[in-house]
Amino acid sequence: MPHRQRNGLRWADMGGCSFELEPQWAGQPQLDDITQVCRRALDLSAEDGCSVTFHADAPSAKTIWASARVAITTLGWIRRMTHVPVPKVIAFDDSQDNDIGYEWILMELMPGGEHFDYDIARGPFRTSHDWLSACLEIIRQEQVEALEEEEDEEDQEDQEDQEDGKDENDEGGEENEEDEVREDAKYRLQVANKLTKLLPKLFPLFQNPAEPTVLWHDNLSMSNILVDDDGKITALIDWECVSCKPLWVATEMPEFLLGHVQEEEPNKDYPDEDDAKKTKLDRIELFEFQQTQLRKVYVGKMKQLWPQWETEVAPAALKLDFLGAVDRCAGGWYLVEIEQWIDAVEGGAFPRLTDFFEDMES
């Protein structure tokens, strides 16, 4: 396969204690060039204002293998197939044959910002209640902020339209998108409030001594377990976002052991399938069978290291579901299903959260 040259980009050795190479621009994009590109894409006249500012200089913005086309395609799919709020792509160029000299994407400005300055408890937390309460407060503040910004922008746009003599019905498409952003923020806030109401019913507010925690790798997938040619584990990787979680989190199976139960060893006989499909079915069923056996080994080892582990699994299921609901609410995923699960728990039933969207995730 021919190697695609990326002129203007290079890998820089950071030196010192760093063992990583960082992507860098060989030359800084010029603000005047960016301004001209934006003016053409937005069809702005010479009298129209257009201000361009560098806001971030992160290595991820320069990663050589990252493609603008991939980002655009993904954003388009999300907008068509889901209700997750993502920015609209106004224009783009996924080549370097332009005034800027680099790939570029022009997107709409979205409401919201960093969580760093939110006035929330930051720990250390004595209880799961305190930790989850802080997580939910981030969600609530984010949605309230988004609604306030959306309202301010709407007022400003109405004022500008009145000054320009525009009909408020001229931009129906934009209004529909703004309505979607507003409704999503309201609904996410509603679900977060319902989770906050349910929180003290599942997690005690006070606990002494402080609740124990465990270092938990929540993305210990197959791709993050490195092995040598002999099958010996050489390293576990991807520790960037790992943190200490309440002890009940450790009752969950690690990522690489999650999957379908396959108790019977595959017989490798599929008379109605062609050879290619037989081979694929062989691999899938063999993997599921081996994964099922490995889960048993894992359970046995956990019982040995933590004798109370098995008795903790059942009562921890509801807590794990609550944590899963908080995580998904933060991302804006499965809000309807989360609300249905909350209503079921409040009503005295205790279904698993995954029961409500099992078909959607499979």
**Token pair of 161 as six digits:** 């339209």
What is the structure's pLDDT at 216?
92
Of these ranges, 31-35, 51-55, 293-297, the one predicted with the greatest mean pLDDT is 293-297
Task: Report whether pLDDT(2) > 50.
Answer: no
Locus of tokens 């599942």: 202
- Which of 141-145, 226-230, 279-283, 354-358 has the lowest average pLDDT? 279-283
CB 127 within 8 A of CB 248: no
Mean pLDDT, the chain, as a whole number?
81
Confidence band, pLDDT 50/70/90 cuts, at residue 19: low
pTM of the model: 0.67
Average pLDDT over residues 71-94: 77
CB of 50 within 8 A of CB of 106?
no
Predicted local distance difference test score (pLDDT) of residue 268: 63
Lowest mean pLDDT among 1-5, 150-154, 169-173: 1-5
Question: Is the pLDDT reported for residue 84 higher than 80?
Answer: no
pLDDT range class, residue 123, cuts 50, 70, 90:
confident
For 354, the token pair is 């995954």
Here the contacts of 124-128 (C-beta below 8 Å, separation 24 or greater) are 124/210, 125/211, 126/207, 126/210, 126/211, 127/203, 127/204, 127/205, 127/206, 127/207, 127/210, 127/211, 128/203, 128/211, 128/246, 128/248, 128/319
pLDDT at residue 239 in the model: 85
Q: What is the DSSP letter of 248?
A: G
CA pair distance 104, 92, nearest whole angstrom: 6
Dihedral in degrees, nearest 10, Cα atoms 260, 264, 269, 274: 10
Greatest mean pLDDT among 14-28, 83-97, 119-133, 145-159 lies in: 119-133
pLDDT digits (tens, 9 = 90+) for 261-291: 999 988 766 555 566 666 777 888 899 999 9
What CA–CA distance (Å, rounded) separates 356 from 335?
Answer: 11
The amino acid at residue 270 is Y
pLDDT score of 17 more than 80:
no
CA–chain centroid gap for 299, Å, is: 29
> Could you give the 3-state DSSP secondary structure of residue 227?
strand
Nearest to 128 by CA among 354, 340, 351, 319: 319
Q: Residue 254 above 90 pLDDT?
A: yes
Which of 93-102, 128-137, 292-301 is predicted least confidently? 93-102
What are the CA-CA distances from residue 15 to residues 9, 19, 20, 47 (Å)?
18, 7, 8, 48
pLDDT value at position 63? 47
Rounded Cα distance, 231 and 338, in Å: 40
How many residues are present in the chain?
Answer: 362
Region 314-331: mean pLDDT is: 95
What pLDDT is recorded for position 3? 41
Is residue 362 very low, low, confident or very high in pLDDT (cuts 50, 70, 90)?
very low
Mean pLDDT on 144-163? 76
